[in-house]
Amino acid sequence: MSEIFEARDWDAAGRIGRLSVPRAGVTVETPTIMPVVNPHIQTIPPRELAERFGAEILITNSYILHGSDDLREEALSRGLHDLLDFPGAIMTDSGSFQLSEYGEIDVTSAEILDFQRAIGSDIATPVDIPTPPEAVRESAEIELETTQERLERASEFDAGDMLLSAPVQGSTYPDLRESAGEHAAGTGLDVFPVGAVVPLMNDYRYGEMIDVVMAAKRGLGPAAPVHLFGAGHPMMFALAVAAGCDLFDSAAYAIYARDGRYLTVRGTDHLADLDYFPCSCPVCAEFSPAEVEAHDETERLLSEHNLHVSFGEIRRIKQAIRSGTLLELVETRARGHPTMLDGYRALLSHVDELERTDPASKTTFFYLSGESARRPEVFRHHRRLERLSVPDSLLLADGSAEGIDAEEVWAVRPPFGPVPDELAETYPANAEIPDRLDAEAYAAAARGVAKLAEANPDCEVTLVAEWPDRALAALPETVRVEPTDSSREGSDEGP
């Protein structure tokens, strides 16, 4: 797998990668979306997806083609690329989704793999079993075992230069997802979709979705290209990329358009409710909402806008990775919808995992909300504090501290805590933070002071700061706390 996927720039667990797809003779830049193409109805022809929207890869369902009297033979004789008229890479799904919706399908994993190879798929998928959230553990285990047997058989399949995907299942059991990820990576297959997350996304359960993804990622490791099966809403792309997802497949652009829904990076609007378009894509620049509604191609126009906004968000995410501002972007998206805030908070609860691939230096850290205090940079700074060498007596000063003796004086800066001189001008301690800080920033700074004090029990630590009582109360008793200079003067004056 490592030969076909190369990750270049990182931010948190997100990365810009290059996936080579040898059967298509192309390399796809990730993260990206694979528009879902229904072989029967194409609101936007696949060639236009490539030429007007920049789609490098799309996904279609081989099970639908296999079961279609009018398209099956054509797909076999002409091949998928010719049939769909698409110049990029084509991934195919296997019918597993139909299996999860209708309870049965009429092909075996081996048959549908054969068919995918025969129609010229570039990335084929075996029949995995999408176990829904909260399935009883025993059925999640039994179904996972079946999926794993099929992946093992797929790894023995003579695929030639066609890539194979290895879906990761395990329902909402983190340990099952993790072992499924480990097993999938061990099969030597190529692309790793995290499956059965559609029910979570349909219910806006982004916190649980992130826990599922992070568990799968722990098993897969950072080198594996990861696809989030069925994820197509642009509002969650940045979050999922920061968790380490590389590929999305969007049917949302078409499905939402069908019932008059307009996608934005903050959520979904109904066309009928809009008086203005908050977008400058070609559709929104040319028409007003009323004109789109009155148009005889409303669905097509909405699909086009939905795709523009989706690809636009992908470009914004890639640029954010390059600039080192992906978490600022995720934080902004988290403010758009409460369920996204849940997703971001869940992501930050895996801060130790994010920290492993997060670059040591980026452009200036922006403190934007209480969540910023839980970012991997703060976590890393706190770990670093435990290893710094300290003098016998150390003064930590957030504000002026004249008249207090100590061998050394370090700054102390929320949310990081103690910052020795040599780190003061470097990332992340040179952060932009607001003057009016929140409780989370002080609490994180207090954790930093505590880490330093606890790692150096022989050092006499004095903190000079005007912090909220709650943050000060969290300090170990060995830390002496003094008010700042100005407030010491103030209290001297008296009435």
Residues 49 to 78 in contact with Zn ion, rule: CB under 5 A? none
Q: How many CB atoms lie under 10 A from the CB of residue 193?
A: 29
Q: In the bound complex, what is the minimum distance in angstroms from residue 196's beta carbon to ligand GUN?
A: 4
Residue 128 binds ligand GUN (CB under 6 A) = yes
Q: Which residue is nearest to ligand GUN (CB)?
A: 195
Residues 79 to 98 in contact with ligand GUN, rule: CB under 6 A? 93-94, 96-97
Residue 489 DSSP one-character state:
H
Q: In the bound complex, what is the minimum distance in angstroms from residue 25's beta carbon to ligand GUN?
A: 25
Q: In the bound complex, what is the minimum distance in angstroms from residue 127's beta carbon to ligand GUN?
A: 7
3-state secondary structure 270-297: EHHHCCCCCCCCHHHHHCCHHHHHHCCC
Select which of 11, 82, 85, 93 is catalytic.
93
Which pair of structure tokens corresponds to residue 385?
């504090």
Which CB sits closer to Zn ion, 36 or 284?
Answer: 284
The one-letter amino acid at 278: P
Residue 284 binds Zn ion (CB under 5 A) = yes
Active site residue 492: no
Which CB sits closer to ligand GUN, 98 or 303?
Answer: 98
Residue 281 interacts, among Zn ion, ligand GUN, none and using kind-specific CB cut-offs from 5 to 8 Å, with Zn ion
Q: How many CB atoms lie under 10 A from the CB of residue 134?
A: 12
Which CB sits closer to ligand GUN, 60 or 96?
Answer: 96
Residue 198 binds Zn ion (CB under 5 A) = no
Residue 65 CA to residue 93 CA, distance in Å, equals 11
Residue 32 CA to residue 121 CA, distance in Å, equals 18
Q: In the bound complex, what is the minimum distance in angstroms from residue 381's beta carbon to ligand GUN?
A: 39
Q: Give Cα 11 to chain centroid, integer Å.
A: 11
Over the window 177 to 196, marking each residue x when it contacts ligand GUN by CB under 6 A and - when it does not, the resulting string is: ------------------xx
Residue 407 DSSP one-character state:
S
Its sign, for the CA torsion 268, 272, 273, 278, is positive
Which CB sits closer to ligand GUN, 201 or 314?
Answer: 201
Residue 279 interacts, among Zn ion, ligand GUN, none and using kind-specific CB cut-offs from 5 to 8 Å, with Zn ion
Which CB sits closer to ligand GUN, 97 or 192?
Answer: 97
Residue 473 CA to residue 149 CA, distance in Å, equals 55
Residue 244 CA to residue 12 CA, distance in Å, equals 8
Residues 252 to 281 in contact with Zn ion, rule: CB under 5 A? 279, 281
Residue 415 binds ligand GUN (CB under 6 A) = no
Residue 196 interacts, among Zn ion, ligand GUN, none and using kind-specific CB cut-offs from 5 to 8 Å, with ligand GUN
Q: In the bound complex, what is the minimum distance in angstroms from residue 65's beta carbon to ligand GUN?
A: 15
Residues 94 to 123 in contact with ligand GUN, rule: CB under 6 A? 94, 96-97
The number of C-alpha atoms within 13 Å of 29 and in the hemisphere containing its C-beta is 11
Q: What is the total residue count of the chain? A: 495
Q: In the bound complex, what is the minimum distance in angstroms from residue 278's beta carbon to Zn ion?
A: 8
Which CB sits closer to Zn ion, 137 or 315?
Answer: 315
Q: Which member of 81, 205, 305, 413 binds Zn ion (CB under 5 A)?
A: 305
- SS3 of 482, please? strand
Q: In the bound complex, what is the minimum distance in angstroms from residue 83's beta carbon to ligand GUN?
A: 21
Provide CB contacts within 8 A for 138, sequence distance 6+: none
Burial 23-40 (b: 16+ CB within 10 A, else e): bbeebbbbbbbbbbbebe
**Total residues at the site for ligand GUN (CB under 6 A)?**
13
Provide CB contacts within 8 A for 250, sequence distance 6+: 33, 34, 35, 36, 231, 232, 307, 310
Within 363-406, strands assigned E span 393-398
Within 331-459, strands assigned E span 393-398, 408-413, 417-419
**Which residues are annotated as catalytic?**
93
- Can you give the binding site for ligand GUN, defined by CB under 6 A? 93-94, 96-97, 125, 128, 130, 167, 195-196, 198, 229-230
